[in-house]
Structure 1
Amino acid sequence: MNKILVLEDEPMLQDMMSSYLESSGYEVVSTDNYEEALSLAYESKFDLFIFDVKITRGNGFELLDELRNSGVGTPCIFATSLNAMSDVTSGFKVGCDDYIKKPFELAELLLRVQNILKRNFNHNQNDEFITINNELKFDILQKRLLKGDKMVPLAKKESELLALFLKNKNTILTRDDIYSQIWDMGEMPSELSLRVYIRNLRKIIGNEKIISHSKLGYEYVS
C-alpha cells in the first residue's frame, strides 16, 4: 500500500482528499502546518507528497525546497490556487513533479497520483542503488550517497551532479551539458562553482572517478 503525506490547511478539503485517497487504496497521513509536515517527512518513508502552497506558518515551496536540500527525493504534487506562470515555475524549480490548480475534482487528483506512483514504481524496478566502490553506493531515486547505512552529506547540486555522472558513465559531459541539467532556469551557471562541486565529489569518491578532459568536459569512469 502506497503511503501519502497530505499537507492542507483547509480542514474540509484536507478531510475530503484524505478520505477519497484512502477509499482508493492508499494510506494517508495528513497535517495542516509546515513544521509537522517537515517532521513527518523526515520520520517516515512516504511514496508521495501532496502539498498546498499557502499553508499555516509556512510555504509549500519552501518546505519542498528544504526537503530536497536534505536529500529527500519523494515525488510531490502541489495543490494551489496560485496560477501565475512565475508560481508554476517556482514549484518546478524546487523539485515538484506535478501541479494541480484549485478548485479541482478529486478524480483528477487521483489520476495524477496514480500516474506519478506508476512512474515511480517502474523506476524502482530498475537498480535503485549504484555501487561506486566497496564502501559507497548511490540511491539514484532519492539522490543520496550512502556509506553503509549512513548518508554522506552532499549539497543539492553535488548530489544532482553525481546522479548525472552515474547515468552517463564513461561518457564525456560538456560543461554545457552539465549546466543545462544542474542549474535551474534563470540561474547563472558558474564554472567556479562547478569546479568546487567536482573537487568535493572527488574527495569523497576518489580523484580517479572523475576525469577532466581539457576543453571538452568531465567523465565519470566506472
Structure 2
Amino acid sequence: MRLLLLEDDHILSETLELFLSKEGYQVDTALSVEEAEELTFNHTYDLYLLDINIPQGNGLDFLKSLRYAEDMTATIFITALTDINSMAEGFKLGAMDYIKKPFDPQELLIRIAAKFVTSTICYKHLEYDPESQIIRCHGEIVDLGNVQFKIFEKLLCQCGSVIKKEELYECLENISDTALRVAITKIKQKLNVDIKNIRGKGYILEKL
C-alpha cells in the first residue's frame, strides 16, 4: 500500500514515515498542502493520512478539493483537535477515522489495518459497505429508501450479471413492471449510474 502523510511537524512526520515503512507501507510525506497537492497530482495512493491544522492550509479543505476532483481515496485524519464540528465535517467528506494527538504509532497501525480489512464494494464514484449498509456517492451518504436500496444491492453485488425481473420483483412492495422501472430510474438519477434493461431478461449493472 502507498500512503500519503500530510503532517507539518517534522519530527512526527519522520517518526511515522520510518515506523510505517518498517511495516511494509510505502510512505510519501508532505509538510504543506502545496506539497501534498503536487504528490496527489503525480501519484495514486491507497490511503491519505492528513493533519488538519497546517500552516497556510487545512487538511479538511485539502480533502474537500480532492473529493471535488472525484478522488475518493480512503482518509484518516491525524489531529489535536477535539472540535465536534471539525470531526463532523471530516466524516461528511468521507473520512474513515480520526486519531488524536498524542498517540502511539502502533495505534495508527492498528487503525489502518482495521479499516482495510473490509468488504466495502467500490463502483466508480460509489462505495457500499455491506456491514453498515451505507452507500456513499462521492463520499457522501445517500439514502435510497428500502425498495431502491434492495434493488441496487442486488445489482451491485452481482455486477456484470443480468438480474432477472422476477428476482428484482422480490424487492418491491407492489409488484409491477412499472413500479420496477420507476425504482430503477430513481436509482440511476440518485447515484448517476447506468443500469441497462436487457429486453425480455432483466437488468444489469455492467462491470467497469
Give the alignment's TM-score, normalised by structure 1: 0.60
Q: Does 1:32 align with 2:31?
A: yes
Q: CA deviation at 1:206?
A: 7.8
How many aligned residue pairs are there? 161
1:187-206 pair list within 5 angstroms = 198=189, 201=192, 205=194
Cα distance in 1, alignment partners of residues 60 and 39 from structure 2? 17
Cα distance in 1, alignment partners of residues 110 and 191 from structure 2? 41
State the Cα deviation string for residues 24-50 of structure 1 (Å, max 9, x = none): 111100011112212222321211110
1:73-222 pair list within 5 angstroms = 73-119=72-118, 122-123=119-120, 138=124, 140-141=126-127, 156=138, 166-167=152-153, 169=155, 170=168, 198=189, 201=192, 205=194, 221-222=203-204
- Residue 17 of structure 2 corresponds to 18
CA contact (8 A) 1:77 1:99 kept: yes
State the Cα deviation string for residues 135-186 of structure 1 (Å, max 9, x = none): xxx46459xxxxxxxxxxxx94899689x7743545569xxxxxxxxxxxxx
CA contact (8 A) 1:73 1:141 kept: no
Q: CA deviation at 1:106?
A: 0.7
- Residue 180 of structure 1 corresponds to none
SS at 1:79 equivalent: strand
CA contact (8 A) 2:72 2:138 kept: no
CA contact (8 A) 2:94 2:139 kept: no
**Which amino acid letter does the alignment assign opposite residue 38 of structure 2?**
S
State the Cα deviation string for residues 27-75 of structure 1 (Å, max 9, x = none): 1000111122122223212111100001132110111111112111111
Cα distance in 1, alignment partners of residues 95 and 27 from structure 2? 19
Q: Does 1:62 align with 2:53?
A: no
State the Cα deviation string for residues 6-32 of structure 1 (Å, max 9, x = none): 000010010011011011111100011
- From the superposition, tell whether residues 141 and 156 of structure 1 become closer, same or farther in structure 2 (CA, over 3 Å): closer
**Which amino acid letter does the alignment assign opposite residue 110 of structure 1?**
L
Name whichever of 98-107 and 61-70 sits farther off: 61-70
Percentage of pairs with the same residue: 28
Q: CA deviation at 1:103?
A: 0.7
CA contact (8 A) 1:53 1:80 kept: yes
Q: Give the aligned CA root-mean-square deviation in angstroms.
A: 3.6
**Which amino acid letter does the alignment assign opposite residue 42 of structure 1?**
F
SS at 1:96 equivalent: coil
- From the superposition, tell whether residues 45 and 168 of structure 1 become closer, same or farther in structure 2 (CA, over 3 Å): same
SS at 1:90 equivalent: helix
- From the superposition, tell whether residues 206 and 166 of structure 1 become closer, same or farther in structure 2 (CA, over 3 Å): closer
Cα distance in 1, alignment partners of residues 97 and 64 from structure 2? 15
Where does the alignment leave 5 or more consecutive residues of structure 2 unmatched?
Answer: 129-136, 156-167, 174-185
